[in-house]
Structure 1
Amino acid sequence: MTKSHSEITGLYQAAGRGFGFVTPEGAAGREEDYFIPPRAEHGAWHGDTVAIRPDPGPAAPGEKRTAKVTAILRRGNPTVTGSVRKHGREAWLVPAGDKLREPIQIVGKHRAHAGDRAAVQVTSYGTSKQPPMGTLLEVFGRDGSREAAVESILFDQHIQREFPPQVLEQARQAPQEVPASARTGRLDLREKCIITIDGASAKDLDDAVSLERDEQGRPVLGVHIADVSHYVPMGSPLDVEAWQRGTSVYFADQVIPMLPTELSNGICSLNPQVDRLTLSCIMTLHPDGSVADYTIAQSVIRTTERMTYEDCNLLLSDADPALAQRYAHILPMLRDMAALAQILEARRKRRGSLDLASRESYILCDEKGHPVSIQARTPGVSEGLIESFMLAANECVAAHLSRLDAPAVYRIHEKPSQEKTEALRALLSPLGYSFREADHFSLQKLLDESRGKPEEFLVHTAVLRALMKARYDPQNLGHFGLAASDYCHFTSPIRRYPDLMVHRTLTALLEGTLTGKAGQKLSSAVPKAAKQASERELAAQTAEREIEKCYLAEFMADHVGETFPAAVSGVTRFGLFVLTALGVEGFLPVEALPGGRYAFDESRMTLTGPGGDVFTLGTLLEVVCASADPGSGQISFRLPGMAPGIPTRRISREGERPAERRVGKRPSRKAGPISKSRKGRKKR
């Protein structure tokens, strides 16, 4: 169907209760969304590109404009995952999650059984007389298991574990050592003291650092990054696959790499005491940490040591004399690095870089992959050191590319929208916090004033949610969160495609080929790479987040009935999201709160009971784990003393309650289906 000139094109996003929203193409923020009432979606599914016709008249105060879907321009769900249910001799797929409400009849020959987690290829999206239909694509395992849920999530986000044969073949042809011919014309830094600092389990080491002093005593910081572009020619099978993946995916005890391990853990990894090809950004710094001069060069290095964060933190705290003796040859440089990192951090803070408090944890698994422990991740001096050095190199490279007006993929982060600013102001005002504009210094003042106070978690969480999402773009629009006018990703080409693109531009500049045919090809590829990288980053983050929920639920399934200290991390009209001290988040339904009916204030994010009890972000409480489902990642809590068995509802993080779904044939779309049974790292 075609749309008329009075109609608007956008993305339909279902809310899980029959209504939804459409974000117009090119919209600057969610404040431009249209509300689509129930039965006005015209058969659209979550993720479809649709045409809408706005209703006449202005929106009511504080409300979004309303519209009706008039045409479905492009379907967003060619495949769907969910749980297989049987109705007589018919098999149906009940979609996972809250967004897709229509059960899909599985047609054709298949091997699915009731209770399987599976995926179907949609062959018909249904009519007023016929249900949606699809053919079976893949069975992931038994629904409810963490293993099946993980594979289903990866499938949904188009994340492939296996590499195509031609990609593996090209990776196997990569050299295992750096030949003398590859070193020709490169800056030879093999005699320099250069080290890597990473997690103990890391195998894809793509950054190394060095620090010296020049004749004037100024620090000369070297950031040396694996030259992945040397081994991944543009347009090759390896490159096409890396472009499609966009990024490596990390969760629990697993990694799905962007590049095959022959490269990511082999010739591209800056392993100790072997020659490796790199791109080096060598910065001479003023005493205040600003760049006095810099050199960007193709180089060859041989790292002196492969250091871990843990060992470096022990060395810098003088906590292990034996370790200090073992690394006596690099300890002076390491201490100098720590001092320089403090200078760089102070400089970022002076210009307005936001210092948000964060809580991180990681999951430890046994040899069978079962989660057995959750440990807090407390960054030490060495983590901050690497963070500061990578930021400095990223800024220097971005400024270099911007000055030369070279085609590049920049990492941008825009100022909070007016809608997000007003929501933040409304949330913090009752606590006595105010600000005029959502600029760097005003937001940092909020963060600083709340530190050490009961509402610290609330304020920091609210500011974080008010920020826009960082993305990749061919234009250098700056990075609001870092208060950086120039920023790109240069330091992780093994695991991020934008970094690989930046390396190609730098190499073309150094070799003088940017104005030739190859340079034109590179220039035309930059906008597509930025868009693709942003989309794949979002897919990876979604997968990592959803998979982590499944692991945490499997862990909590062993601790049902136990009590945990927690804080409120989200407020909805249906109950509270609570975050335990372990870093596990779950849902506490309003029915499990004492005292009767609760009033929800969306602007202030509070639930208030009839007795005056108020729950808001950051409220401290103790909770008992009531249930945990590894298959969905859903964890529910109750308060101590409240009777177990209180009905809990499946609820999304957005706070909307999904409708119940039934399987079977239906006489009409309005009546709905009928059935006898019923069924929700890293361095910058």
Structure 2
Amino acid sequence: MKELQKLTGTYQATGRGFGFLIPEEGEDCFIPPRAQGSAWNGDKVSAVITEEDPATGRRTARVTGVLERANKTVIGVLEKHDRALWLRPDSQRLPSLIQVATKRRNLRVGERAAVSMTSFGGDRHPPVGTLRETFGPADQRESAVAAILYGNDIHRDFPLEVMEQTRSIPQFVQTAALEGRLDLRDKTIITIDGASSKDFDDAVSLEKDGQGRWVLGVHIADVSHYVQPGTPLDLEAYERGTSVYFADQVVPMLPEALSNGICSLNPQVDRLALSCILTLDREGAVADHRIAKTVIRSAERMTYGDCNKLLAGEDPALAVKYDHILPMLQDMAALARVLEERRRRRGGLDLETQESQVVCDDQGEPVAVLLRRQGESEKLIEAFMLAANECVAEHLARAGKPCVYRVHEKPSTEKTDALRTLVAPLGYDLKTADGPGLQKLLDWAKGKPEEGAVSMMVLRSLMKARYDGENLGHFGLAAPYYCHFTSPIRRYPDLMVHRILTALLDGKWNKEGKRLTAAVPRAALQSSQRELAAQQAEREIEKRYLAEYMSHQLGEKFTGAITGVTRFGLFVMVAGGVEGLLPAEALPGGPWEYDEARLTLQGPNGRYALGMELEVECAAADPVSGQIDFILPGGVPVPARKPKQEERSRPPRRKEGKGRGRSMHVPKRRKGGRKR
């Protein structure tokens, strides 16, 4: 008897009886109904191949055992059946009901709750979980948001020992801390952030040296001075990994007394910083650099809006108010254009993504959705942060010292071939999928209806940026060296880089180097995992806010463009970057045939493809699930089965930035639109 081929991988349920095995190596395998054994969605499993089609290579497998459980905590809605309390999971990829064990009384049916799994059940026994947390009525957006944060291990409150340590930190710079620091308090240094920002972790300055070269100063809050390794503050920051931003709220990595207080580069007060001072020639090349522990005093707290008006010459009153820094701002904008052009010439990508900004009223209710756009001041800050990040990464690499690198590997042949197939029906022949080739595609789509869809397709063809102790380069930036140095208030990798630099600058490498070297791979892995959790939470919460806003726009008509095509319908993005589903059943003239390779729906009398403009009407919006449904004007909403939550989920738009931006560059920060 032929021995069955064994595999290990991740079981992916569909919620429709069958599933797939995503093996550690090789192609996916089909798991037919009742062949999943006791596996739940996301579990690491062992399996055997039971069938293989020689013509197509399609494999069918059967799960033989569960190696590691993924769903240790499950979130859903409480129900009562036969006097027993049950949880119906929010995810339809999980079993329909879990019995809840609890001693708590006065629990209400219809509350959203979390249970810790104690048994995953069997043929004769239901799965059982212990009640851990309740979040309030399941029909309210607030409970959905609280559950999303909980499910991603994101906590608003800080432990008592962390707050006690925070209270012991003075809110002014002590004289002893100035010893050995480069004093830059006489320099004109400014911060530029969003109007609502309260934590300023970067400031910039610009002047010329005796040879006419640019001297760019990027001054970053010296968080490492206040957050020492192994302290409660450090351990909590490590666990959080990053700040989380959504709508008008933030779950910070550090307590407010640090993030908005002594670590924030507030105007007209002394602050400790770590400065990267770059000397640049006319072409934007780094001729020299210096990294130093400094003390600075920000001269002005500038906003993006004011800076954009100043640079555009739109507000004479502002020009008078800031006449002492306007020439420097104009020079900064000129240098930023040089740096951006230099990056483009070497093959860096310029990905303009459409991002929504939810505007809330005083009660935290969404009242408007705007499309966030980059102005000139946002671009100049982005260019300066990128320059500093590259400089620091190269500095550490050439010194032979460890670093938490931000890496972005080149896309796989499989992904670039798929992208080539997708853009071909749009009339574009993608000859090469390197940086310049992808940029030509983006430039070709600029200003066309399909611009947003093409940009999204390019993003999805790219690898996910992550943190690593090994320097693997950065494809999206075409940078051989890259790390995150500029946001230690909200990102743990930046804090690690600061500690490594400080040990070198203080001459303490022999004493601290071994410990720091060992900490780098752990910090890289933890930070990558927490970044993914934060991005998932931000994305899911934003969907709830957008749906709540759209629930007040029912029956309204919008002009949008198709940004996604699936067998069950079209994703359409309308004003403000709001995206909803137009179900295939709501399209007249069917039946509709789905072409997965070209991402189109083809019918007897028409065809829908990426980038097509459509007028749609908002038919439904659910703030609890985040689902938004569109119909064609005058159409009838589909009363039949709606696609499952997982079916409606789009691949994440990878974003990164000192503010909100692209994940291939710098993690998202919802503080006024700064990218990378």
Indicate the residue corresponding to 1:258 in structure 2.
253
Question: Of residues 270, 278, 281 in structure 2, which corresponds to 1:275?
Answer: 270
Indicate the residue corresponding to 1:670 in structure 2.
none
Q: C-alpha distance in 1, partners of 2:220/2:159?
A: 27
Q: Contact between 1:457 and 1:617, CA under 8 Å: does it hold in 2?
A: no
- Output one character per residue of 1:660-683: Cα deviation in whole Å (capped at 9) or x when no partner: xxxxxxxxxxxxxxxxxxxxx544
Q: Contact between 2:4 and 2:50, CA under 8 Å: does it hold in 1?
A: no
Indicate the residue corresponding to 1:146 in structure 2.
141
Query: Is structure 2 residue 606 aligned with structure 1 residue 619?
Result: no
Residue identity opposite 1:510 in structure 2: L
Q: C-alpha distance in 2, partners of 1:445/1:55?
A: 46
**Cα pair distance change 1:575/1:513, threshold 3 Å:** same
Report the Cα offset of residue 54 of structure 1.
3.6
Q: C-alpha distance in 1, partners of 2:60/2:279?
A: 57
Q: Contact between 2:620 and 2:628, CA under 8 Å: does it hold in 1?
A: yes
- Output one character per residue of 1:209-245: Cα deviation in whole Å (capped at 9) or x when no partner: 0001000110000000001011111111111100110
Residue identity opposite 1:12 in structure 2: Y
Question: Of residues 324, 330, 338 in structure 2, which corresponds to 1:335?
Answer: 330
Q: C-alpha distance in 2, partners of 1:187/1:429?
A: 56
Q: Contact between 2:585 and 2:638, CA under 8 Å: does it hold in 1?
A: no
The unaligned stretches of length 5 or more in structure 1 are 658-680
Q: C-alpha distance in 2, partners of 1:65/1:206?
A: 52
Indicate the residue corresponding to 1:664 in structure 2.
none
Q: C-alpha distance in 2, partners of 1:32/1:530?
A: 29
Query: Is structure 2 residue 389 aligned with structure 1 residue 414?
Result: no
Question: Of residues 526, 551, 567 in structure 2, which corresponds to 1:557?
Answer: 551
Report the Cα offset of residue 21 of structure 1.
3.4
Indicate the residue corresponding to 2:18 in structure 1.
19
Indicate the residue corresponding to 1:538 in structure 2.
532
Q: Contact between 2:137 and 2:143, CA under 8 Å: does it hold in 1?
A: yes
Q: C-alpha distance in 1, partners of 2:225/2:59?
A: 52
Indicate the residue corresponding to 1:472 in structure 2.
467
Query: Is structure 2 residue 358 aligned with structure 1 residue 363?
Result: yes
Report the Cα offset of residue 440 of structure 1.
0.7
Q: C-alpha distance in 1, partners of 2:359/2:154?
A: 23
Q: C-alpha distance in 1, partners of 2:624/2:430?
A: 43
Q: C-alpha distance in 1, partners of 2:586/2:473?
A: 46
Aligned CA-pair RMSD:
1.9
Report the Cα offset of residue 514 of structure 1.
2.3
Partner SS, residue 515 of structure 1 = helix
Residue identity opposite 1:272 in structure 2: P
Indicate the residue corresponding to 2:399 in structure 1.
404
**Cα pair distance change 1:682/1:311, threshold 3 Å:** closer
Indicate the residue corresponding to 1:218 in structure 2.
213
Q: C-alpha distance in 1, partners of 2:481/2:143?
A: 43
**Cα pair distance change 1:511/1:372, threshold 3 Å:** same
Q: Contact between 1:337 and 1:385, CA under 8 Å: does it hold in 2?
A: yes
Indicate the residue corresponding to 1:444 in structure 2.
439
**Cα pair distance change 1:280/1:64, threshold 3 Å:** farther
**Cα pair distance change 1:179/1:32, threshold 3 Å:** farther
Query: Is structure 2 residue 620 aligned with structure 1 residue 630?
Result: no
Provide the aligned length of Structure 1 versus Structure 2: 651
Question: Of residues 239, 248, 261 in structure 2, which corresponds to 1:244?
Answer: 239
Normalising by structure 1, we get a TM-score of 0.92
Q: C-alpha distance in 2, partners of 1:32/1:513?
A: 50
Q: C-alpha distance in 2, partners of 1:644/1:50?
A: 41
Indicate the residue corresponding to 1:609 in structure 2.
603
Query: Is structure 2 residue 425 aligned with structure 1 residue 430?
Result: yes
Question: Of residues 188, 198, 217 in structure 1, which corresponds to 2:183?
Answer: 188
Residue identity opposite 1:159 in structure 2: I
Q: Contact between 2:449 and 2:561, CA under 8 Å: does it hold in 1?
A: no
**Cα pair distance change 1:556/1:323, threshold 3 Å:** same
- Output one character per residue of 1:259-287: Cα deviation in whole Å (capped at 9) or x when no partner: 00111011100000111111100000011
Query: Is structure 2 residue 120 aligned with structure 1 residue 125?
Result: yes
Residue identity opposite 1:146 in structure 2: R
Indicate the residue corresponding to 1:202 in structure 2.
197
Indicate the residue corresponding to 1:666 in structure 2.
none
Indicate the residue corresponding to 1:671 in structure 2.
none
Q: Contact between 1:42 and 1:70, CA under 8 Å: does it hold in 2?
A: yes
% identity of equivalent residues: 61
**Cα pair distance change 1:285/1:55, threshold 3 Å:** farther
**Cα pair distance change 1:352/1:434, threshold 3 Å:** same
Moved more, 94-103 or 72-81: 94-103
Greater RCO, CA 8 A, separation 6+: 1
Moved more, 487-496 or 77-86: 77-86
**Cα pair distance change 1:440/1:257, threshold 3 Å:** same
Partner SS, residue 517 of structure 2 = helix
Q: Contact between 2:88 and 2:98, CA under 8 Å: does it hold in 1?
A: yes
Query: Is structure 2 residue 2 aligned with structure 1 residue 9?
Result: no
Q: Contact between 1:125 and 1:133, CA under 8 Å: does it hold in 2?
A: yes
